[in-house]
Amino acid sequence: MTTATAKPKKKKIQKHNTKFENKKLSTSSRRYLERQAGDVWSEKARKEGYRSRAAYKIAFIDDKHNLIRAGRKVVDLGAAPGGWSQYAARKLGSKAGIIALDKLEMETVNNVTFIQGDFNDEAVFEHLLTLCPDGVDVVLSDLAPETSGVANLDHLRSIQLCEMALDFALRTLRPGGDFVCKIFMGGEEKKFMESLRQHFEKSKFEKPEASRAESKEVFIVATGFKG
Ligand SMILES: C[S@@+](CC[C@H](N)C(=O)[O-])C[C@H]1O[C@@H](n2cnc3c(N)ncnc32)[C@H](O)[C@@H]1O
């Protein structure tokens, strides 16, 4: 049986890696091999009907922290094309209470309410708040800026999205609720993590296996909202 978190079988290319054991790889060879390994997750996603390999990132985090549980209400920010929403909907079934947002269109996912809009737009932010009148249990953010190629700029844009997602989480989470947020590392992430400590019992960085090693992305998982 295949489960969402089961590690995909290695491709031939990874077997060849053994040739390189004990040898120092050039940066370009290492990147090439890492990209090949990354494609294994895309292939697994295709086979299992997930729209993106990103589904395995939230599956990895959920496996470790048990965030998506029956009866919990979930908000998925930066949801398109829908891998995280699909994962949550599959786990929660027909009783799922999931709200997803993205500025891009997203094909319907059963049991998920999708809002198309820019999270930076105050009206969109407020609208989303009105959809959560009784609060929610989990706020997930895979929001990512369009990358410019300038690492520091991408980092600062990512931090800005994280701060907005946190603002939304602080206004909607019920006590005991959880927050997951993608962040592009670049120096400010520690300060952001510090700001979470006053609101959550625990917070830590996670780097899921499906996240490319060369990517600057990491995920902050903050659990136990103090309210
Ligand atoms: C890495 S993708 C999300 C992948 C998704 N979690 C999945 O599993 O398929 C990041 C998403 O963030 C969205 N995004 C970035 N900035 C946004 C904003 N200001 N408002 C709404 N969505 C935004 C992008 O449109 C993009 O679809």
DSSP letter string, 150-213: -HHHHHHHHHHHHHHHHHHHHHHEEEEEEEEEEEE-SSTHHHHHHHHHTTEEEEEEE--TTS-T
Contacts of 170 (CB under 8 A, 6+ apart): 199
Radius of gyration of the chain (CA): 18
Both tokens assigned to 190? 């520690």
- For 214, counting Cβ atoms within 10 Å of its Cβ (0-12 exposed, 13-18 middle, 19+ buried), the class is exposed
Q: In this structure, what DSSP letter does residue 26 have?
A: P
Q: Tens digits of per-residue pLDDT, 94-127?
A: 888 999 999 999 999 999 999 999 999 999 999 9
CB atoms within 10 A of CB 186: 15
pLDDT of residue 78: 98
> Residue whose CA is closest, atom 6 of ligand 1?
79
In ligand 1, the atom with minimum distance to the C-alpha of 182 is: 1
Catalytic choice (182, 190, 202, 204)? 182
141 CB within 6 A, ligand 1? no
Tens of pLDDT, residues 22-34: 445 666 666 666 6
Task: Identify whether 182 is a catalytic site residue.
Answer: yes
* pLDDT-derived band at 47, boundaries 50, 70, 90: very high
* Whole-number Cα distances in Å, 168 to 13, 81, 134, 223: 43, 21, 14, 15
Q: Could you tell me which CATH class the domain 55-225 is placed in?
A: alpha beta
Task: Name the pLDDT band for 152 (thresholds 50, 70, 90).
Answer: very high
Sequence ranges of the domains in the chain: 12-48, 55-225
How far, in Å, is the centroid of ligand 1 from the Cα of 32? Answer: 26
Residue nearest to atom 22 of ligand 1 (CA): 102
Q: Residues 7-19: pLDDT tens digits?
A: 776 544 343 333 3
Check pocket membership of 88 for ligand 1, CB cut-off 6 A.
no
CB of 154 within 8 A of CB of 184?
yes
Amino acid identity of residue 35, one-letter, is: R
Token pair, residue 99, equals 């709200």
User: Which residues, other chains included, contact 19 with Cβ-Cβ below 8 Å and sequence gap of 6+?
Assistant: none
Pairing between strand 217-225 and 173-184? Answer: antiparallel
Alpha-carbon distance 203 to 220, whole Å? 7
pTM value?
0.88
